[in-house]
Amino acid sequence: MTGPVVIAAGGTGGHLFPAIAVAEELLSRGREVVAVTDKRGGDLATRLEGVAVHRLHASAMSGCSLSGKIVGAVALLRGMLEARRLLRQLTPSAVVGFGGYPTVPPLFAANQIGAMTVIHEQNAVLGRANRMLSSRVRLIATSFDRTEGTVGVETLTCGNPVRSSIASLHDKPYDPAGQDGRFRLFVFGGSQGARVFSDVLPDALAALPAALRARIELIQQCRHEDIDRVRARFDEMGVAATVATFFDDMDAQLERAHLVIGRAGASTVAELSVAGRPALLVPYPHATDDHQTENARAVEAAGAGWLMPQTGFSAEALAARLEAFMTCPDTLIRAAAAGLAWSRPDAAVRLADAIDRLTGSNGHHGGHDMREQAA
């Protein structure tokens, strides 16, 4: 009988959502799963019923101050000692990391005790925690065909696992807006919104011809401090707008959207492509190693959306883009189809297949061509 598969993930949604999707797939195959995270990883406990969740000490060491680096190093060392004790008790068949510094202690500990190790990278650039681990693991699973930083280790391009509620949209057709019909625009900027969207969208819609502006049905995520001023502007213009700090029905919002405007985080990019929704992507300019720009470039190269750097994200430029999309809906129809063709809705299955193969387990859903590459 093989030991449990230990799933390790950082505390942000971009790391947790893929980890949860793969854990659910492994559980459906009868595999035992144990989760490891830090104090921020509450979603692992609430979304994985019956799965034990262990929290270890971990911290980034990328701060500018010497004291910050020392604190981070001490936390990681403490986490490694905790992880080694835990893994010796669990005797796992594999330890699978999904990025973020909370994955460093369990992956290092797994390497020390000789356990099978796998990491998954969501972005088009290998993240800092994964770079620390890349030379010590058996397999690197990637979301993009080309991922910077994967050298000298077996790689598997499996895609980025998405939530099951989003994956279900893959089989629901894109419903294009007619030239005279309602145009549903969904704008969101990650877990807490993006101020630049609150600053630019009202002026961009004001610059549209009145006939086009009247067609727009807007759903926009805003920061709490921006909601009142943004809502007031839309009310003045007579724009049908719903403004909120958070939407817990992302699947419903994506299903209805004709166009999405958003950042280019890995989960966003994967969910948009799986759902087949065209997007105008404005990468967060301060993202580590500018990985969001690389994500957006991959989307644009696939024909599934458009990269619009924040430096060029002006009201005038956005208004011109919106007018072009609204008057030529075939452009969005083609992008939606390209996104579906480029997406990997079975990413969780592919990664679970790889874990079963590496651990010698007979999973219930095997048989995929996993397109392994010798890096």
Count other Cβ atoms within 10 Å, centred on residue 45: 14
Q: Does residue 166 register a pLDDT over 90?
A: yes
- C-alpha distances (whole Å) from 75 to each of 43, 86, 313, 357 are 22, 16, 40, 34
**The domain defined by 5-162+345-374 carries CATH number 3.40.50.2000:** yes
Is 10 within 8 Å of 26 (Cβ atoms)? no
Domain edges within the chain = 5-162+345-374, 167-342
pLDDT for 134: 93
pLDDT of residue 236: 96
Q: Which is nearest to 220 in space by CA: 204, 158, 210, 305? A: 204
Which residues have C-beta within 8 Å of that of residue 249, sequence separation ≥ 6? none
User: Average pLDDT in the 152-179 region?
Assistant: 91
| Model pLDDT, residue 66 | 67
Residue 55 vs residue 353, higher pLDDT: 353
Token output for 129: 């925690």
Neighbours of 181 (CB within 10 A): 14
Helix residue ranges, H only, 66-127: 66-90, 104-113
> Is the confidence at residue 62, as pLDDT, over 80?
no
* Maximum alpha-carbon separation in the chain: 67
- pLDDT-derived band at 178 (thresholds 50, 70, 90) equals confident
Query: Has residue 64 got a pLDDT over 50?
Result: yes
In this prediction, residue 59 has a pLDDT band, given cuts at 50, 70 and 90, of low
What's the pLDDT tens digit per position in 245-255?
A: 989 899 999 99
For residue 359, what are the CA distances in angstroms to 112, 116, 234?
Answer: 17, 7, 56
Report the alpha-carbon distance of residue 99 to residue 179 in Å, rounded. 43
Residue with tokens 């985080």, as numbered in its chain: 265
* One fold for 5-162+345-374 and 167-342: yes
Superfamily of chain region 167-342? Glycogen Phosphorylase B; (3.40.50.2000)
When computed from its CA atoms, the radius of gyration of the chain, rounded to whole angstroms, is 22
